[in-house]
Amino acid sequence: MSGVTGFPRGWFVVCFSSDLAVGQTRAMRYFGRDLAAWRGEDGAVRVTDAHCPHLGAHLAIGGKVCGNNIECPFHAWRFGGDGVCAEIPYATKIPPRAQVRSWPVHEQNGHVMVWHAGAGGAAPDFSIPAIPEYGSDGWLPWATSQYQIKTHPREIVDNLADRAHFPRVHSTDISQFDFTVEGHTATQFVKGLAHLASGGTDPFSSTTTYHGPGYLLMRMKGALQNYMLLTHTPVEENLLDLRLAVTLKVVGDRTTTEGYVGKYMDNLRQGFEDDIRIWEHKVYKEPAMLCEGDGPIGRLRRWYRQFYPGQAAASEGQ
Ligand code: FES
Ligand SMILES: [Fe+2]
């Protein structure tokens, strides 16, 4: 028993902000549930369970945004972001239980997130920090990419502490590797030399922090300065959406920096695809058989268990 099965608790990205314009709806599936998202006239995103309590239509498929509410495509019942039915066009009395489950939403750094409470049902108890440079003139807008991967989130998170896979999987020599955990955050600090597919080398240093179980922010300093946001969200227990967003610091001329984005993204994608091939076919070893030179995988896993309330206590006792 690994202590980390099912869905973790925390903030999880469900779409890029640019995926959802004012007045738009979006059907989504995360945490094994169908969800409906929409952006109201006030610019705020709402997310609820998808199926109308009346006769079960999917609110986001054919439904429309009216003010800040969503109108069901079937008989036009309207629901607010709190999930409560606000209006039925042909009835004056609204059934008291006419309600869908509403999800806490937080939009920041160009990403829309929901809070998944997990088995303990806890309300949000940490927040996602703003990236101070995001949206400023000196930095390019996000370049984004997305994958759907057949694996459990614990495999993605393991990577943060897995020092020994860098040279093999990512052609990167590591000269310094530090790892710390604090509350809901886990941080990796790396200095290394990346061997590029194009033949050159890129000395770099990076600081990479998980803010909760599914939101990773990396600040890299090398030939290019950038932030990378790597977020993953469970669709089903062993299927997840991985999103990648990169912003480069403008160095010299903006157009020249923009010219690097495509190549940079290709390199990053290649790196992830090398990981993905392993993730999709591996099994989870717990406890892992570790040796000298491995990263602090045990410490990372102890940190990660906090996001699976109820299971952690059971596995500690084993
Ligand atoms: S099913 Fe939604 S209003 Fe009837
Ligand atoms: Fe990796």
Residue 89 lies in a domain: yes
Residue 310 lies in a domain: no
- Regarding whether 164 and 17 lie in a shared domain, the answer is no
Give the integer Cα–Cα distance in Å for 317 and 304: 16
- Regarding whether 91 and 173 lie in a shared domain, the answer is no
Q: Which pTM was predicted?
A: 0.95
- Residue 315 burial by Cβ neighbours in a 10 Å radius (0-12, 13-18, 19+): middle
Residue with the smallest CA separation from ligand 1 atom 4 is 75
Ligand nearest, relative to CA of residue 272: 2
- Regarding whether 272 and 215 lie in a shared domain, the answer is yes
What pLDDT was estimated at residue 254? 93
- Regarding whether 298 and 160 lie in a shared domain, the answer is yes
- Regarding whether 110 and 150 lie in a shared domain, the answer is no
- Regarding whether 266 and 161 lie in a shared domain, the answer is yes
Q: Which residues pair with 108 in a beta bridge?
A: 111
- Helices (DSSP H) in the chain: which residue ranges? 153-158, 165-170, 254-279, 297-304, 311-316
Torsion sign (Cα): 19, 23, 28, 30: positive
| Sites in the chain below the pLDDT cut of 50 | 1, 312-318
Range of the domain at 56: 10-116
Residue 59 lies in a domain: yes
Q: Which atom of ligand 1 is nearest to the CA of 57?
A: 1
CATH classification of the domain holding 99: 2.102.10.10
- Position 265, amino acid: M
Ligand nearest, relative to CA of residue 274: 2
Number of domains in the chain: 2
What pLDDT was estimated at residue 317? 38
What pLDDT was estimated at residue 119? 77
Give the integer Cα–Cα distance in Å for 52 and 49: 8
Going from the Cα of 54 to the center of ligand 1, the distance in angstroms, rounded, reads 5
- Regarding whether 154 and 105 lie in a shared domain, the answer is no
CATH classification of the domain holding 235: 3.90.380.10
Q: Which of 100, 116, 132 is the last residue of a domain?
A: 116
- Position 65, amino acid: V
Q: How far apart are the first and last CA of the chain?
A: 9
Going from the Cα of 274 to the center of ligand 2, the distance in angstroms, rounded, reads 8
Ligand nearest, relative to CA of residue 62: 1
Which among 64, 70, 72, 85 is the best mutation to test ligand 1's pocket, defined by most ligand atoms within 8 Å of the CB?
A: 72
**pLDDT tens-digit series, residues 249-278:** 998 899 999 999 998 899 889 989 999 999
What pLDDT was estimated at residue 3? 77
- Regarding whether 284 and 158 lie in a shared domain, the answer is yes
Give the integer Cα–Cα distance in Å for 175 and 155: 24
Residue 127 lies in a domain: no
Residue 82 lies in a domain: yes
Give the integer Cα–Cα distance in Å for 78 and 69: 6
Residue 150 CA, distance from chain mean position: 15
- Regarding whether 288 and 178 lie in a shared domain, the answer is yes
Q: Which atom of ligand 1 is nearest to the CA of 77?
A: 3
- Regarding whether 147 and 105 lie in a shared domain, the answer is no
- Residue 273 burial by Cβ neighbours in a 10 Å radius (0-12, 13-18, 19+): exposed
Residue 126 lies in a domain: no
Residue 189 lies in a domain: yes
SS3 assignment for 187-252:
EEEEEEEEECCCCCEEEEEEEEEEECCCEEEEEEECCCEEEEEEEEEEEECCEEEEEEEEEEECCC
- Regarding whether 254 and 155 lie in a shared domain, the answer is yes
Q: Which atom of ligand 1 is nearest to the CA of 55?
A: 1
Residue 135 lies in a domain: no
Pocket of ligand 1 (CB under 6 A): 52, 54-57, 72, 74-75, 77
- Regarding whether 99 and 180 lie in a shared domain, the answer is no
Residue with the smallest CA separation from ligand 1 atom 3 is 75
